[in-house]
Every structure is written in structure tokens, then in C-alpha cells.
Amino acid sequence: MRDSAPILIFDSGVGGLTILAEVRKSLPQAPVIYAADFAGLPYGTKSEAEVAARVCGLLGRMAERYQPRLICIACNTASTIALGMVREVLEIPIVGTVPAIKPAALTTSSGTIGLLGTGATVRQPYVDRLEAEFASDKRLIRHAADALVPLAEAKLRGESLRAGALTQAVAGLRDHPDARNLDTLVLACTHFPLLADELREVFGARVQLVDGAQGIARRIAHLTQGQAMERTQDDYAIATGPIASLEALSATLARYGLKQLSRF
């Protein structure tokens, strides 16, 4: 393996930047390519078959072109649907991103946990299995909040969020009859931590926000332990769809160390 072989971080949009930020802390020397499937955004409103076909196809082509040492699917929706299929097709380590139900179950004091995800994520049997294994003695309230995805993307572009838009997107969870005891909130979409400040305003300081970014970064560090890494060029971002979607985020991407932009 080349010392310059990158870690490929893949997401439907910019949510995976929350994973990248944690990977930087664990592996500052690692070369990275960030891939955003803007042409396929949003995943949460697509069928399972559409998501699986798109993710498997794109990652197959990206793996062939960029020869990464590891791929991180930094998207809960894509991971809960397509992770197993991608692992069957590609012969390199694949790290998925799944709802952080286990740490949330260990964190909660009241036993009532909220879960915000896309519609496609919250209905997955994978989430059922996580709940059964780690939170069978807890109350898990799931809520589909697909509208948070474009809000997170808009925030990173520096746009002002429409008044009340975020509150409306999570109202079904906040106003749920069992939510009065809610003290822990799983952010089951990598876009959602980008809205952490706004979510704290809605749910209050007593509700702890939990996401899987740190755990994912630890897993990537473990799987690449002992590997030589050398950054021979600036890290960069690639995207499907119009390059303008990527260029609009150039200042933000630069803050994450992604200094080159190109279309895939």
C-alpha cells in the first residue's frame, strides 16, 4: 500500500465533515479525500433499493479511481442500508456510521432517549436490532427529521436559517407525550451535529446530545494502526453534481483542511 493512500470519507452531502473533524484529531497525518454525493442528496427520502444501488455503484468507482486504504461511509442512512453490500463488493476496510444508541443507553438517567434521523434511517431493521441489543430496557422515541439536512447544508454555506424551521422539523419529538422525561438525544444523521447549538436551544440544556463521530474516528484509527501515512498533496473534496454546490462551501471546506475541489 502506498504511504499516500487516502482515507475516503463518503457522505450524501457535508454531514461527514463531523466525522472528518474527529479523524483529524486521531490521525492528523492521514491523507483524506472527502466525497459528497450532492447529485443524490437527500438519501433519507429515497427507497432502500435506490440508496443501495447508488452507494454501491459510487463507492466501487471511487475505490477503483482513488485506491483508498479505507472507506468511511459517513452517513447513517447509507450505512444502515448498504454497509453490508459494500463490504461484500470491496476488499478494503469499510467503516459505517450507525445510530449511537449504545452510548446513549449508557448515558441516560431517565431511561427516555430521543432519536433524530432521516425517514430512511429510523425505519431500518438495523435500528430495531440496535435498540433490542442495547436499549431494550429504555424508551426510545424515533423521529424522522429530514428537513434538518438542508438546514445543516444551508448553515455551512453561511445562510441564515428560516425562523422556526428547525423547531418545526423536530416538533414531533419535542411534543411527544413521552418526551417529558427525555434527557438524551441521539443525532442519527451526520448532518445533525452541525446544528447542535440550535438543537440545544429547542430541547434545553438538560438534554444531552449524542452522536457517533468520536467512536467512528477511534475505529478508523484502530484499523489503520501501524500503517505508514504521508500526505504528498493537499487533501481535497470531490462531489457529484454541479461543481457550484461544492464551490459554495469552499471557505468551510478549507477550514476542514480540504483545499482542493473537483467534480467526480
Mind listing the domains of the chain with CATH numbers? 7-97+214-263 (3.40.50.1860), 101-211 (3.40.50.1860)
Q: Which of 15-29, 94-108, 149-163 is least confident?
A: 149-163
Instruction: Report whether pLDDT(243) > 90.
Output: no
CA distance 207 to 28: 31
Instruction: Report whether pLDDT(145) > 90.
Output: yes
Compute the average pLDDT of residues 239-263. Answer: 88
Do 45 and 146 form a contact (C-beta atoms < 8 A)?
yes
| Run of H or E including 186 | strand 182-187
Do 11 and 35 form a contact (C-beta atoms < 8 A)?
yes
> Residue 158: its pLDDT value, please?
87
Instruction: Report whether pLDDT(245) > 90.
Output: no
Instruction: Report whether pLDDT(17) > 90.
Output: yes
Given 17, 19, 75, 122, which residue is catalytic?
A: 75
> Residue 166: its pLDDT value, please?
95
Question: Is the backbone peptide bond immediately before 68 cis, with ω within 30 degrees of 0?
Answer: no
* Residue 48, C-beta contacts closer than 8 angstroms, at least 6 positions apart: 81, 120
Given 81, 98, 151, 189, which residue is catalytic?
A: 189
| Dihedral angle sign, alpha carbons of residues 22, 68, 248, 209 | negative
Burial 191-208 (b: 16+ CB within 10 A, else e): bbbbbeebbeebbeeebb
Burial of 172 (0-12, 13-18, 19+ CB in 10 A): middle
Instruction: Report whether pLDDT(146) > 90.
Output: yes
Is position 72 annotated as part of the catalytic site? no
List pLDDT tens digits, range 198-236. Answer: 999 999 999 999 999 999 999 999 999 999 999 999 999
DSSP 13: S
List pLDDT tens digits, range 42-90. Answer: 898 899 999 999 999 999 999 999 999 999 999 999 999 999 999 999 9
CA distance 23 to 5: 15
Average pLDDT along the chain: 94
Which residue carries 430496557 as its cell? 137
Compute the average pLDDT of residues 22-43. Answer: 94
Burial 92-119 (b: 16+ CB within 10 A, else e): bbbbbbbbbbbbbbeebeeebbbbbbbb
List pLDDT tens digits, range 108-123. Answer: 999 999 999 999 999 9
CA distance 195 to 192: 5
Is position 189 annotated as part of the catalytic site? yes
> Residue 75: its pLDDT value, please?
94
Do 122 and 93 form a contact (C-beta atoms < 8 A)?
no
* Residue 204, C-beta contacts closer than 8 angstroms, at least 6 positions apart: none
